[in-house]
Amino acid sequence: MTRFLLRRFAQAILVLWLASVAVFLLFFWGPGPNQVARTFAGRLATPARIAQIKHDLHLDQPLYEQYWHWISGILFHGNLGYDYYKGQSVNSVVGQALPATASLVLGAAILWIGYGIISGVISAIRPRTLVDRGFTTAALFFYSMPTFVLGYSLIFIFAYELYRVTKFFPFESYVSLTANPWQWFVHLILPWLTLAMVTAASYTRLTRTSMLEVLGEDYVRTARSKGMSERRVVRVHGLRAALTPVVTLAGLDIGTALGGVIITEQVFGITGLGWTIVQAIGQQDLPVIMGIVVLAATFVVFANLIVDILYAVLDPRVRLT
């Protein structure tokens, strides 16, 4: 177990290092120091600001020293850089946006994973029935629907047509959990449903397919022949083994979504990481773009590290060696 964790952690660090090198070279390698400094300064660049940025980023030094200055600030101080466009650190920009994205993604993940697993299991234990066909049809319908179409449809139905009756379902902006927990909850209901309904379709189909495969294994038939109840067979022998690919997909989806759910945040006016990076691209705010990209890569890598560890918990056939 210890060797497995150390090896996986070393691999995660290697991937993050390669990602950081790729991000650095993408923005620093090729353009000259003046162009890099001008890009970092944004549209409102002045000669004095460009000279200051060249000094701050050590652009008059070799490329490897520039990289070490940048990466050491992240590693040893957690410093993602300075946003010259807004006149504040990138950490502050990310810190303001991250709670909204985390609230949206984690809440929606509970919904899409829970619904996807339950619907997939029911479809697998009742194949080719009306229930199975209903879940499969719903999965295909929402899987093929663009996120913005579903989001605007929910807004039209619940926030406009039914608002006169329910006086509920606000959808604009984001309210902090610490400021008002109830308003935080009601403002996120429609964004949660939008993100969960689109994403859950993959989990329904994957869980159904995986469960059908596992329930056909020899050891499952042996358990049934020994008189084990069908509910226990499904829960103990079927579901745990069938969840392995689901956990893999969940790790990728959650890790990626934490880097910014751009469309959902744009539709509902949530000022999260996705909304922030879109604004940064429009303003040519390079430090914020680099900071969010590095943060998103970190989320994806460590989400997959957690998934690797969960494999052995869910499937006893997997050995951590």
Tokens at 19, concatenated = 């990602």
Least confident among 101-115, 133-147, 307-321:
307-321
Which tens digits make up the pLDDT trace of 135-167? 989 888 988 888 999 998 988 888 777 766 666
Tokens at 251, concatenated = 């790790």
Average pLDDT value for the chain = 84
Per-residue model confidence (pLDDT) at position 319: 57
Would the pLDDT of 295 be above 60?
A: yes
Over its C-alpha atoms, the chain yields an Rg (Å, rounded) of 24
Residue pair 264/192 in contact (Cβ under 8 Å)? The answer is no
Residue pair 303/315 in contact (Cβ under 8 Å)? The answer is no
Tokens at 138, concatenated = 């719903």
Q: What is the CA angle 41-43-44, rounded to 5?
A: 75
Would the pLDDT of 235 be above 90?
A: no
Highest mean pLDDT among 64-73, 193-202, 281-290: 193-202
Strands (E), the chain: 82-83, 88-89
Tokens at 139, concatenated = 């999965």
Per-residue model confidence (pLDDT) at position 203: 93
- Gap between the Cα atoms of 195 and 318, Å rounded: 32
Per-residue model confidence (pLDDT) at position 91: 92
The percent of residues above 90 in pLDDT, for the chain, comes to 25
Average pLDDT over residues 7-27: 88
From residue 211, give the alpha-carbon distance in Å to each of 118, 121, 237, 285.
11, 7, 10, 47
From residue 88, give the alpha-carbon distance in Å to each of 41, 67, 80, 98, 292.
12, 21, 11, 16, 15
Grouping H, G, I as helix, E, B as strand and the rest as coil, residue 137 is helix
Per-residue model confidence (pLDDT) at position 179: 87
Tokens at 199, concatenated = 């994403």
Residues in the chain: 321
Looking up tokens 């759910």 gives 261
pTM: 0.85
Q: What is the DSSP string of 282-312?
A: HHT-HHHHHHHHHHHHHHHHHHHHHHHHHHH
Tokens at 270, concatenated = 């949530």
Per-residue model confidence (pLDDT) at position 195: 93
Residue pair 291/94 in contact (Cβ under 8 Å)? The answer is yes
Give the confidence band of 6 by pLDDT, cuts at 50, 70, 90.
confident
Average pLDDT over residues 10-39: 80
Average pLDDT over residues 212-219: 83
Tokens at 250, concatenated = 């969940």
Structural domains in the chain, CATH included, are: 2-79 (no CATH), 92-314 (1.10.3720.10)
Give the confidence band of 219 by pLDDT, cuts at 50, 70, 90.
confident
